[in-house]
Amino acid sequence: MAPYLLIDNSNSFTKFAVSVGGQLSPVSSLPTRGLSADALRDLVSDWTFGSVVVCSVVPQTAALLVQTFAHLPLLQVSSSIDLGIGIDYPAPESIGADRLANAVAALALFQTPAVVVDFGTALTFDILSREGNYVGGVIAPGLEAMTNYLHERTALLPKITLLEPPSVIGKSTEHAMLAGAVYGYRGLVREILAEIRRTLPGAAEDLRVVATGGYAELIAAGLPEISSVHPALTLEGLRLIAKRNFN
């Protein structure tokens, strides 16, 4: 089985890994803003791979990636390729490629019904029915976007580094902001999951909740509703898509 180069091109960072023999290599990343062909070639100059899978939510960068690796067999993730999951959604072409990859990985690695909560630039919830079909999702502002907004739109509130607050009662401006961000965000996630559990057939008894993305571990630490944290879930989905389409 030839190695695949897997590329997860999101708004903040673009992540890279190679799949060899069903395993992912250590993940490397570059800031998406300012990504160049030279930076791409430098990153993978010592890597061995025979084909490329691109999952992108940034059209301009997707074009750069396709152009850079045009000399190799290349697959762009979308609802029009063979994903191995059913899609019960009015406009499948509008589903983000990263969300499809997450759903593919969740179906393969976890039981259904399931929800993937992706703590990225945006907060997304992607839902799989008990039958293993992608049936829709929820999109909310990302945690960093919310806290940066406070800093940018107020004169006295600082930019903060997101981490676990000492308590819910802030003893400084920074701690008060951390409490609002972390506890407030957990409340947001908990309420959305509760509504999904009430609405999705079969989910009241048995719903698997998987978290991924940059702030997954921070927020999941205070949410027993989240069953598993899988930092490389999107890349794992790309590995499965590559195996399905290139073999």
Residue 52's SS3 state is: strand
pLDDT digits (tens, 9 = 90+) for 103-112: 999 999 998 9
Mean pLDDT for the chain overall: 94
The per-residue pLDDT for range 157-169, each reduced to its tens digit, is: 888 889 999 999 9
Higher pLDDT among residues 153 and 74, named by residue: 74
Residue 15 domain flag: no
Cα 125 to Cα 164: distance, rounded to the nearest angstrom: 22
Number of structural domains the chain divides into: 1
- Show which residues are catalytic: 98
Q: Is the pLDDT of residue 198 over 70?
A: yes
- pTM exceeds 0.75, yes or no: yes
What band does 1 get if pLDDT is binned at 50, 70 and 90? Answer: low
- The reply to whether 1 falls in a domain is no
Asked, for residue 188, whether it belongs to a domain, the answer is yes
Range of the structural domain that residue 221 is part of:
112-234
* Residue 90: per-residue pLDDT: 96
Q: Which of 206, 45, 200, 42 is nearest to 128 (CA)?
A: 200
pLDDT of residue 205: 83
